[in-house]
């Protein structure tokens, strides 16, 4: 037996193990990747069981989106944040008048997945052959997979015609909008992650897939002669422990390692101290696959988002869109830190910067600073409800819970209150305080921003120069100034601030897979019978976040490929 960080690998011939149950395919995890694998395997004729670690189904997928907006006016439906899948060349793209040629799409995928290696003249666009093959698989099979899921009602899917990719203005992106898909409800609204999980699980159960909750997998059974994974050890307690044989294979869809402090501390940039993933995302597959000698990759990458320092991860969401035109993010020295209108994944990278002259991470907490106008106009903007209601707006609704907001009549008073707030979080950021001259430096920063707003050109961070940034900024205040994302500040006060930190939606590193979603060794050979999809593997996206729905698009595609291949082995 091999043990690795609590994960166990037992070597025994399959016919000598006292199995509690035998199936063709074991799926571990019940988010989008897991259900896609289960549906594919069952559609391929396999007997399938889904083992979920927690008491409830859905994983991180079920946390995505949700009802928001409070009680609606009579006759209106509540606002909601929908959940999307991002797929190249999907079956509904043509009805929007778009095409998505393979070579063009692969250039966009590769350019962002590995920007330092990207070479358009290379046959693999500069990427290692195995990484390029995963992008090819995503393009080649994503269309088929979402078509299969739609046909099963797991879930029904439709295109978002007007939604821009996150890098819509890159020259490599020849299809800048239309790739995102949503699941329509009967009332026309977009389904949430929990509703997508419900549709997928209902379809799977109706096809005969068995489901067990509170069944964490903590061990693998491996044939000593072939090295193939032939089953799992599972169970939350000794009384519920069992051995389940998997004749075709085991598909892991267990999420990343956001909630494993050791893995997070060892691999992610230091300013990341937590995230929004389901609490079961503790790196289970990393430990198990490591015990079998799997190749790990992409371990320093995550799906990133700013988080409100004074909010926990449950049930709050990420600060996905910072509202307002007279609003900036400044660091503890009063310096503006980033383009405030870029997408959440890219914005969060600013929090991770190391200052080689100061010897610190000066952006580990950033101050979202805004004036009276933004505080009055930008609470619960249409389509973007407050974080504590399931949206992505860090400002509270009028009359809502605003304990995370800090208000003062002057910048000097605001600085004092921010320091008091930082002192409450000494355990996460020991000794962190604003610089003594923060108020004066911030005033200078705002005057420079005001000048830029009047000209419409942001010389420091190029705010508002792309279609994606303008689309994410909300309705402009007026046509008085040329850049709709910028407006001079009202310096009379009161001033308000929200403290933001770096977080993850989940991590995106783990064992490498091949185009059949088989987990591979360092030499590229597959570990027979062991598969992975979703956030538990080294993401084919590399460092990219191509558009809204990327995480689920990858999850369902490679989950399906994993289940399909495992089912073929069992028959």
Q: Tell me what pLDDT residue 380 has.
A: 67
- Among the listed residues 58, 436, 399, 417, the one whose alpha carbon sits nearest the alpha carbon of residue 254: 58
Q: How would you label 21-52 residue by residue, b for 16+ Cβ within 10 Å and e otherwise?
A: bbbbbbbbbbbbbbbbbbbbbbbbebbbbbbb
Q: What is the pLDDT along the chain (571 residues), one digit of tens a residue?
A: 555 555 689 999 999 999 999 999 999 999 999 999 999 999 999 999 999 999 999 999 998 876 665 566 676 666 667 899 999 999 999 999 999 999 999 999 999 999 999 999 999 999 999 999 999 999 999 999 999 999 999 999 999 999 999 999 999 999 999 999 999 999 888 999 999 999 999 999 999 999 999 999 999 999 999 999 999 999 988 777 899 999 999 999 999 999 999 999 999 999 998 899 999 999 999 999 999 999 999 999 999 999 999 986 555 668 999 999 999 999 999 999 999 999 999 999 999 999 999 999 999 999 999 999 999 888 866 566 676 666 788 888 777 778 899 999 999 999 999 999 999 999 999 999 999 999 999 999 999 999 999 999 999 999 999 999 998 777 778 788 999 999 999 999 999 999 999 999 999 999 999 999 999 999 999 999 999 999 999 999 999 999 999 999 999 999 999 999 999 998 7
Q: Tell me what pLDDT residue 224 has.
A: 94
User: Within 10 A of 503 (CB to CB), how many other CB atoms are there?
Assistant: 28
Q: Tell me what pLDDT residue 70 has.
A: 59
Q: Tell me what pLDDT residue 388 has.
A: 65
Alpha carbon distance, N-terminus to C-terminus of the chain? 29
Cα–Cα distance between 549 and 235 in angstroms, integer?
32
Q: Could you give phi then psi for residue 465, rounded to 5 degrees?
A: -90, -10
Q: How would you label 377-403 residue by residue, b for 16+ Cβ within 10 Å and e otherwise?
A: bbbbbebbbbbbbbbbbbbbbeeeebe
Question: 537: which residues sit within 8 A by CB, 6+ positions away?
Answer: 252, 285, 510, 511, 512, 513, 517, 519, 558
For residue 418, what is the enclosing H or E element? helix 411-423
Q: Tell me what pLDDT residue 377 has.
A: 87
Structural domains of the chain, with CATH: 2-64+193-304+505-570 (3.50.50.60), 81-182 (no CATH), 309-504 (3.90.700.10)
Q: Tell me what pLDDT residue 401 has.
A: 76
- Triad 119, 104, 112: Cα angle to 5°: 50
């Amino acid at each position: 037996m091999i043990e690795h960080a609590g994960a166990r690998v037992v070597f025994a011939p399959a016919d000598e193990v006292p199995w509690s149950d035998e199936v063709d395919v074991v799926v571990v995890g019940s988010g989008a990747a897991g259900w896609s694998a289960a549906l594919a395997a069952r559609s391929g004729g396999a007997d399938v069981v889904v083992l979920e670690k927690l008491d409830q189904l859905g994983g991180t997928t079920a946390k995505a989106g949700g009802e928001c907006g409070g009680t609606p006016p009579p006759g209106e439906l509540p606002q909601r944040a929908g959940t999307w899948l991002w797929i190249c060349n999907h079956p509904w793209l043509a009805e929007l008048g778009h095409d998505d040629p393979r070579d063009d799409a692969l250039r966009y995928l590769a350019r962002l997945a590995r920007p330092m290696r990207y070479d358009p003249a290379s046959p693999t666009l500069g990427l290692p052959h195995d990484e390029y093959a995963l992008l090819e698989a995503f393009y080649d099979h994503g269309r088929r997979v979402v078509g299969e899921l739609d046909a099963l009602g797991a879930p029904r899917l439709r295109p978002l015609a007007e939604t821009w990719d996150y890098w819509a203005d890159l020259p490599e992106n020849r299809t800048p909008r239309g790739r995102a898909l949503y699941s329509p409800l009967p009332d026309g609204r977009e389904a949430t992650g929990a509703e997508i999980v419900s549709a997928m699980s209902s379809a799977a159960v109706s096809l005969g897939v068995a489901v067990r909750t509170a069944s964490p997998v903590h061990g693998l059974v491996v044939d000593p002669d072939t090295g193939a994974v032939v089953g799992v050890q599972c169970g939350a307690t000794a009384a519920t422990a069992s051995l389940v044989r998997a004749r075709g294979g085991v598909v892991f869809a267990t999420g990343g390692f956001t909630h494993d402090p050791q893995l997070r501390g060892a691999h992610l940039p230091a300013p990341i101290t937590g995230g929004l993933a389901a609490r079961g995302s503790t790196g289970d597959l990393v430990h198990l696959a490591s015990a079998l000698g799997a190749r790990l990759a992409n371990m320093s990458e995550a799906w990133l988002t700013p988080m409100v320092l004074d909010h926990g991860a449950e049930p709050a969401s990420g600060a996905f869109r910072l509202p307002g035109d007279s609003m900036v993010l400044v660091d503890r020295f009063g310096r503006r830190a980033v383009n405030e209108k870029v997408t959440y994944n890219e914005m969060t990278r600013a929090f991770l910067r190391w200052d080689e002259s100061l010897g610190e991470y000066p952006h580990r907490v950033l101050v979202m600073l805004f004036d009276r106008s933004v505080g009055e106009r930008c609470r619960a903007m249409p389509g973007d409800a407050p974080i504590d209601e399931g949206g992505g707006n860090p400002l509270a609704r009028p009359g809502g819970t605003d304990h995370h907001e800090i208000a003062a009549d002057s910048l000097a008073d605001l600085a004092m209150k921010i320091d008091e707030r930082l002192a409450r979080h000494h355990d996460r950021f020991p000794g962190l305080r604003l610089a003594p001259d923060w108020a004066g430096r911030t005033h200078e920063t705002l005057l420079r921003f005001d000048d830029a707003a009047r000209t419409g050109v942001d010389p420091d961070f190029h705010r508002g120069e792309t279609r994606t940034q303008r689309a994410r900024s909300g309705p402009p205040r007026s046509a008085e100034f040329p850049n709709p994302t910028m407006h001079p500040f009202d310096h009379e006060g009161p001033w308000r601030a929200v403290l933001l930190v770096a977080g993850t939606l989940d991590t995106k590193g783990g064992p490498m897979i091949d185009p059949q979603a088989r987990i591979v060794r360092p030499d590229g050979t597959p570990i027979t019978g062991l598969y992975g999809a979703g956030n538990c593997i080294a993401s084919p996206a590399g460092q990219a976040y191509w558009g809204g729905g990327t995480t689920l698009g990858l999850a369902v595609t490679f989950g399906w490929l994993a289940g399909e291949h495992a089912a073929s082995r069992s028959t």
